[in-house]
Copies of this chain bind each other. A is one copy, B any other.
Amino acid sequence: MGTSAPVKVYGPPMSTAVSRVLGCLLEKDVPFQLINVNMSKGEHKSPEFLKLQPFGQVPAFQDEAITLFESRAICRYIAEKHANKGNTKLYGTNLLEKASIEQWLEAESQSFNPPSSALLFQLALAPRMKIPQDEGLIKQNKEKLAKVLDVYDKRLGDSRYLAGDEFTLADLSHLPNPQYLVSGTEVKELFMSRENVGRWWEEISSRESWKKVVEMQNSPPS
């Protein structure tokens, strides 16, 4: 009694969606067990895995009686269940803070993620998978991302973090894609040429929680 089993996260830390959930668990100081899903062997499409995640994607997540999918929904659940644990500001402490966090979480999901995911695929994954790069798509998504980052740069000139004075789920949700883009591709310049975005990126990506996630990404799978 009293000590509950660690939550389970299914999927490799190299996955951007998995790393979003890991970042949240580390911020909230919630113990977890990472369960490998060998995607190169197609384990994420196995009948057994589809019972956990019907779309055949990672992560899947289990905590006591509940199984969940979708990284941003899992993060909200963790942050709400453990409101008073770890970083207690992560999901806001009142209706107005939470509304601002939700607004910038949705900006990530609707405006930032589509072009940054497309660039991640084209610039980082396609070469490794020996898929030809699509120069048209690269150009188009750089332009889209630049426009989004212009809005962010203005916001981050008025505010230390996206949702206000505190690091929240809204900032955390942005970490996975630029981790690959800023460290290994020409897209770095889109972030660093914007003063406030550059300052914000340095600050959020050097948090202890995120540095641990990056270490996990760089460790060979067991």
Q: Write the residues of chain A forming the contact surface with B, with a CB cutoff of 8 angstroms.
A: 54-55, 65-66, 68-70, 72-73, 76-77, 80-81, 95-96, 98-100, 102-103, 105-107, 109-111, 114, 148, 151, 154-155
Contacts and interface: CB of A to CB of B under 8 A. Distances in A.
B55 A76 contact: no
Main SS of chain A's interface residues? helix
Contact of A110 (B70, B100, B103, B111): B70
Contacts of A95: 77, 80-81
Contacts of A105: 73
A111 B53 CA distance: 13
A162 B96 CA distance: 28
Contacts of A69: 103, 107
Contact of A103 (B68, B103, B107, B114): B68
Contacts of A73: 99, 102-103, 105-106
Contacts of A65: 96
A155 B54 contact: yes
A49 to B, nearest CB: 13
A148 B56 CA distance: 11
Contact of A96 (B66, B114, B151): B66
Contacts of A155: 54
B55 A77 contact: no
A6 to B, nearest CB: 18
Contacts of A72: 102, 106
A54 B154 contact: yes
29 contacts: A54-B151, A54-B154, A54-B155, A55-B107, A55-B148, A55-B151, A65-B96, A66-B96, A66-B99, A68-B99, A68-B103, A69-B103, A70-B103, A70-B106, A70-B107, A70-B110, A72-B102, A72-B106, A73-B99, A73-B103, A73-B105, A73-B106, A76-B99, A77-B98, A80-B95, A80-B98, A106-B109, A109-B109, A109-B110
